[in-house]
Amino acid sequence: MSTTFVSHLTDKPEDGLVLYDPNTVETYRGNGLWNGRALAAELLDAAEKAAANPAITTADESLTYRDLVDRAKDFARGTIATTDLRSGDVVMFQMGNVIETVVSYLGFLFAGVKPVCTLPQHGTREIRVLAEHTGSRTLIVQCDFAGGRLREQARSLSADGPIDTVIAVRGSIEGAVDYADVLAAGRAANDLDLPGLSVNPLGIAVFQLSGGTTGLPKVAPRLHEEYAYNARIWADAMAYRQSNTVVYALPLMHNAGISLAVQPAILAGAHLVLLPDAGIDGLLDAIETYPLITIPLVPPALAVRLLETPRATETDFGSVANFVVGGQRLPVEVAEQLRDKLGINVRQMFGMAEGLFTLTPADADEYVRYQTVGSPISPHDDVRILMPGSEDEVVDGEVGEFCARGPYTIRGYYRADAHNAAAFTSDGFYRTGDLSRRHVRDGRIFYSIEGRIKDVINRGVEKIHAEEVEEVIVRHPDIVNVAVVAMSDRVLGEKACAYLVLEPGAADMTVEVLAQYLLDHGLAKYKFPERVEVVAEFPLTNVGKVSKKLLREDVERRLHDEEADR
């Protein structure tokens, strides 16, 4: 599809969002992809059609769709009654995989409030930067998460700014609004309108994060119509039905959790079983308990742990209709072991907070399911494999940069002109930074992911921007320079290794000392380097830049030698 891209004014013209031109909107609506409605309205209609069906089950509670809708409406009205939040405002999330997360997410959408899908793993630094970038003054926080760490973090953010209002869930915080009080106020104000049902469908519904944050955050503004289509087309590709059980174990407030589990499950009227974490026993319990199971995202690390768990060989996986691996390349031998030892036929996917998903078809042969991440889930997705740094396409079979455009891929990051200039082609294709190869098989096109251009470390399903970690580390008074690189890990795929140049006479820098420093500076723990190498100087490229390629090769040699010595 040929499209034109223009800048449109929004309710906040200074944001400089790049939105869809009228011709593209007309085309997408004419093709039935978009329907001119707010995301909240679509979710509400679908939930009401499945009112008597089980909607969500967690470790603590189960709700039917009728219960879920009623509670979310109460939360929406209670938010309006007890806080200063109004339609168009923005709220930060720090919530785990609990029922309150889904209720408050839907409630904010019903109230016209835009969620920022931060993770409970994020530290004060990330929350502060993102709140300032999106203009959020409100934080909803799960007080009992990680032993109360988020409670203390919320206190710090509200004391030092930029957060003015905290909504406390599963516990109390002095000066905060209590979640139970919000629900009670909503029940008492049941005559209040729900403004989120009639907002501009071309406006922003949700803010998602692009894998991590750097000094200037890369925040993906997900618009109502395109985000709803994203969920619908994924539900279609996975054949979600009211009879299905969608089991999800990864952090929910993440684009994957919202786009692969919450929203498509609601639109299909399926039963969402939300696990508290990615523990193997919890996953096996769900597989033994529920019928017609779909697991829409399993990181390779979890697949490896499943194979290593004796209980798994005693479990009947016959109820698992879909077992989808994503986030990193799945080794072929792991896919074969899942097939031979557990009877699991793996599918693979590739996706991004910016939009496009690919998926291997259910009926694909093993070459496609093991060697590729499939095809785009929408026939209206456009993909090009371009020579890095160019807008010229490579020939079939050659490696290039995976670039995407379509009805649910963003047209620009939020308030980020500098990022947008580099991240999009002149005709609106998003440059993912991932290296890919196009495969033509029996007349059909599939894609494999062959690596990446970006300086990003893939730790399990979480992406760590090396630049962000370096920005914090280099402030340490004993550190002259730092380079954070990926090192291989059998379970997680990659971990971070920090190469350091220290001040003369500085004490040795250990992993533990560096971790305490990063913790004190509010960095999320999953971003901490798990190896430190102190060197006199860094290797340089022929243009005088630090050669991270040589550093990566160095740490791999060190890992190999250490393994050989064991």
The architecture of the domain spanning 233-452 is: 3-Layer(aba) Sandwich (3.40)
pLDDT mean over 251-280: 96
∠ Cα 242 36 234 (to 5°): 35
Question: CA–CA distance from 494 to each of 38, 184, 280, 473 (Å)?
Answer: 39, 46, 20, 20
Distance CA 463, CA 457 (A): 6
Place of tokens 């793996």: 346
**Does the fold of domain 456-565 match that of domain 33-232?**
no
pLDDT mean over 141-153: 94
pLDDT digit string, tens, across residues 97-114: 999 999 999 999 999 999
**Phi then psi dihedrals of residue 216, to 5 deg:** -110, 115
CATH superfamily, with its number, for domain 33-232: ANL, N-terminal domain (3.40.50.12780)
Domain segments of the chain as ranges:
33-232, 233-452, 456-565
pLDDT value at position 19? 67
Residue 50: burial class (beta carbons within 10 Å; 0-12, 13-18, 19+): buried
pLDDT mean over 181-189: 98
Q: Which CATH number fits domain 456-565: 3.20.10.10, 3.30.300.30, 3.20.20.70, 3.10.180.10?
A: 3.30.300.30
Q: Is the pLDDT at 212 greater than 50, yes or no? A: no
In order, the DSSP letters of 316-332 are --TTEEEEEE-SSPPPH
Question: CA–CA distance from 477 to each of 341, 430, 474, 482, 510 (Å)?
Answer: 52, 39, 8, 12, 15
Q: What percent of the chain has pLDDT over 70?
A: 95
Tell me the pTM. Answer: 0.85
Q: Is the pLDDT at 16 greater than 80, yes or no? A: no
- Of the listed ranges 84-88, 96-100, 343-347, 543-547, the one predicted with least confidence: 543-547
pLDDT mean over 482-504: 92
- Of the listed ranges 77-86, 90-99, 206-215, 284-293, the one predicted with least confidence: 206-215
Q: What percent of the chain has pLDDT over 90?
A: 78
Instruction: Read off the amino acid at residue 541.
Output: T
